[in-house]
A and B are shown apart, each in its own frame.
Chain A
Amino acid sequence: MYDIIVIGGGPAGLAAAIEAKKNGIDSILVIERDRELGGILQQCIHNGFGLHVFKEELTGPEYAEKFINELKELGIEYKLDSMVLNITEDKKVDFINSIDGYVSVKTKAIILAMGCRERTRGAIGIAGARPAGVFTAGAAQRFLNMEGYMVGKTVVILGSGDIGLIMARRLTLEGAKVKVVLERMPHPGGLTRNIVQCLDDYNIPLRLAHTVTSIKGKDRVEGVTIVAIDKSGSIIPGSEEYMECDTLILSVGLIPENELTENAGIAIDPATKGAYVNEAMETSQEGVFACGNVVHVHDLVDYVTEESRLAGRSAARYINDELRASAKAVRTKQGNGIGYIVPQFIRTENLLGGVNLFMRVRSVYSNSKLVVKADGRIIKEIKRSHMIPSEMERVQLSKEVLAAADIKELAIEVMEVEQ
């Protein structure tokens, strides 16, 4: 019997476990499926992590190691190479590994921190042949940075998500020719700094509103068919163009990995593809918390850490009976221009200070504002000179603002500001 079992030893799981421990919970187990802790950070050898949390620029492995060291110093128990097969409603966690075999263990609280996976070729419907040489960006990144293998010589990258951009630079530095990065949308999918430092620095062209429709090559990729996309998202007839390459790398989005969550009957928000969570990062099942990319896909690990600390703290409060389960909940709602909001529910009574609302806008906005409405009444406006879907927006609300009125629904929308 544990107090808390954390599923996943990546940045989310590590931060949640550490925070729970610091909040007085001693009996914690972190279960990690990989051979080591740190999750995907271990293959993200580029820098740019930690500006918010550590006020310095770190690489992924450095960011991970700081947390791994702290976890070990705090004496938190963890299992590597261990796969959770099942979690049950009465908080039994079944996992396996080579040493302990099949283990079934009870816990008072669970923190889900399984992260996300990459969208694949099948999910985006690229036709043609099925040769070797088609990789998701993360898989190619693991081969290159951890195993030490090049995946190809001449590369086309589909998708301007951050991993795709980072891989364009890494492959170029290691001697490959990255011919082009294609993005189906009219705006880039990754952070601006990555466009500048990963593409512009190396004169790698970025073609917006273009995608790959077909792959040629019997055994190995020989080339791809590229098309232009119009404003409605359709292929522009006659825009087909063939480009030779031996490798196609896909960076076409991440999906929270919620098989365990769904099997446990926990409600999933179709907007985030992660569990619905409240202000405590608690899911629809009492005592089961979730944090990081398993809840919604983040672009900055610093925010994952912040959110996971909240989950760890909340799990500790739950165990100490400090969370009011029955407290009345305010529903957050994505208004015009907003794709999703996390958390989806706020129980004002449980708030210690304020609440951070994380959201993504649907398209590019300049000179706009985020308008917060409580049951239709504007309670806050935040000016933003520039908002893009690839960069998560954060809105802080104080407990006082929320407690002031008997709010049922809290909507946030984008409004253009008149110049």
Chain B
Amino acid sequence: MNSTQIICIVCPMGCHLEVAHDSASGTYSVSGNKCSRGKEYGINELSNPTRVVTSTVVIEGAHLKRLPVKTNRPIAKGKMFECMKEIDKVRVIAPVKMGQIILKDIAGTGADLIATRSMG
């Protein structure tokens, strides 16, 4: 049984969670949380941490040289830099609409890269 201390970021409360992992049974238990979302966060953060990646891609024909983008859902934390490599290669041409898909299934994560603003 090993336990990890993390701070819950689901809401601004910032509960100090202790997540215990029982490797024999493969189960997690969370203490220190004040709501069920905290428990879920604690387990996910240890078993399969995910993040939304936000970045920019090169855009041509717009008033700015970069278009902000994000993954439309959280991806595995370990995949972030792989994702960035894909993002760095993208070149788009204006006009672009907010929400428009820029890259489908980025780095095999199942998430799409979408524009987070309209431009041009």
Contacts and interface: CB of A to CB of B under 8 A. Distances in A.
A–B direct touch in complex (beta carbons closer than 8 A): yes
Interface of A: 35-36, 42, 45-47, 57-59, 61-62, 64-65, 145-148, 170, 173-174, 191-193, 195-197, 201, 300, 385-386, 388, 391
Interface residues of B, number: 29
Contact of A197 (B51, B55, B66): B51
A145 B12 CA distance: 26
A191 B10 CA distance: 12
Contact of B64 (A64, A147, A170, A174): A147
Contacts of B15: 385-386
A45 B55 contact: yes
A145 B66 contact: yes
A147 B65 contact: yes
A192 B117 CA distance: 27
Given A62-B98, A65-B98, A173-B53, 14 more contacts: A45-B70, A47-B70, A61-B98, A62-B116, A62-B117, A65-B118, A145-B66, A147-B65, A148-B56, A148-B64, A148-B65, A170-B55, A196-B7, A388-B14
Interface in B82-120: 84, 98, 116-118
B13 A386 contact: yes
B37 interface: no
Given A47-B52, A65-B118, A148-B58, A59 B14 contact: no
A196 B9 contact: yes
A68 to B, nearest CB: 9
Contact of A65 (B51, B54, B117): B117
Interface string B59-92: 0000111101010000001001100100000000
B6 interface: yes
Interface of B: 6-7, 9, 12-15, 34, 51-56, 58, 63-66, 68, 70, 77, 80-81, 84, 98, 116-118
Given A64-B117, A385-B34, A197 B70 contact: no
17 contacts: A45-B116, A46-B54, A58-B116, A61-B116, A62-B117, A64-B117, A146-B66, A174-B55, A191-B12, A192-B12, A195-B7, A196-B6, A197-B9, A201-B51, A386-B13, A386-B14, A386-B15
A146 B63 CA distance: 10
B80 A192 contact: no
B84 A145 contact: no
B77 A201 contact: yes
A195 B9 CA distance: 10
B52 A45 contact: no
B72 to A, nearest CB: 11
A174 B63 CA distance: 22
Given A64-B117, A193-B9, A145 B14 contact: no
Contacts of B14: 192-193, 386, 388, 391
B98 A192 contact: no
Contacts of B84: 173-174
Contacts of A147: 64-66
Given A35-B63, A148-B65, A59 B6 contact: no
B7 A145 contact: no
Nearest to B10: A193
A124 to B, nearest CB: 27
Residue of A36, A42, A192, A197 with most chain B CB atoms under a 10 A cut-off:
A192
A-B complex: 3 closest residue pairs judged by Cβ atoms: A193-B9, A61-B117, A45-B68
Given A62-B98, A191-B12, A148 B117 contact: no
A315 B81 CA distance: 48
Contacts of B6: 196
A10 B39 CA distance: 37
Nearest to B57: A148
Contacts of B51: 197, 201
Nearest to B66: A148
Contacts of A47: 52, 54, 70
B66 A57 contact: no
Contacts of A62: 98, 116-117
A46 B69 CA distance: 9
A34 to B, nearest CB: 11
